[in-house]
Structure 1
Amino acid sequence: MTKLLIALASAGLLVLGGCAGTTGGTSGTQASAGTGISSEAQSALKQAENDVAASKKDENEWTTSAAVLKKAQEAAKKGDSNTVLKDSKLASELAKISIEQLKYPTTDVFK
């Protein structure tokens, strides 16, 4: 169990470390000014909102998924499709992992 937790923590750090090197500039996914975010970003944001809501329903929401979702929603208000895509995908992934965590066996360390 300890090895699994270490592996999950390491994977999370790698994901966050990889995101730190990305730029916030525009690319082909950036919608033109005044039209909001791209349809791909809208879809990713909707999926992230659904995944985080599902983890809340199971009462196993990770605070990091809620924080990243909030960043994605703020980026959507600013029209930054790249940031919305990046943060939405991360929030969705964290929410799915938190749901999967419920399937792990419990530990009896403190009995």
Structure 2
Amino acid sequence: MNKLLIILAGAGVLTLGGCASMDDMASDSSSPAATQAAAPAITPEAQAALTQAEADAAATAKNKVQWTSTEAALKAAQAAAKTGDSEAVLKNAKFASAEAKLSLGQMQYPSTDVFK
């Protein structure tokens, strides 16, 4: 009896959750085009800096040496790009790129793991 109640409760939750997400999908289907058209553009210099920062961050992620400050600065630059704030994009993207290059350079340092 308890198993049946648990199964019915789970099915009800899944059903209600599915209905809620369908409403979100229906309301979001028209908004991306409107949001994309209304999104302000950033300067070409800011776009180039953001692209470079994303490439540098991808290299650090590939080598598993990404610093949290790099990731935070890149997210801030991407958020600023969505709002069209070129100055903030430049500032955060340049910082993220510099941090990524430093973290890649840190791979060349000697190991501090002396207890192996």
- TM-score where L is the length of structure 2: 0.64
- Computing the radius of gyration from Cα coordinates, the structure with the larger value is 2
Match of 1:40 in 2: 45
State percent identity of aligned pairs: 56
Consecutive unaligned residues of structure 2, counting only runs of 5 or more, are 1-37
Q: Distance in 2 between matches of 1:108 and 1:75?
A: 39
- Structure 2 CA distance for partners of 1:58 and 1:34, relative to 1, 3 Å: closer
Q: Which of the numbers 50, 64, 68 marks the counterpart of 1:63?
A: 68
Q: Which amino acid aligns with 1:106?
A: S
Instruction: Report if the CA contact (8 A) 2:39-2:83 is conserved.
Output: no
Consecutive unaligned residues of structure 1, counting only runs of 5 or more, are 1-32
Q: Which of the numbers 70, 90, 105 marks the counterpart of 1:100?
A: 105
Q: Distance in 2 between matches of 1:96 and 1:34?
A: 30
How big is the shift at 1:108? 3.8
Q: Distance in 2 between matches of 1:50 and 1:66?
A: 12
More helix by share: 2
- TM-score where L is the length of structure 1: 0.66
What are the residue-to-residue correspondences of 1:74-93 with 2, within 5 Å? Answer: 74-93=79-98
1:51 aligns with 2:56: yes
How big is the shift at 1:35? 4.7
Match of 1:26 in 2: none
Instruction: Report if the CA contact (8 A) 2:76-2:92 is conserved.
Output: yes
How big is the shift at 1:107? 1.6
Runs of 4+ in 1 over 6 A off after TM superposition: none
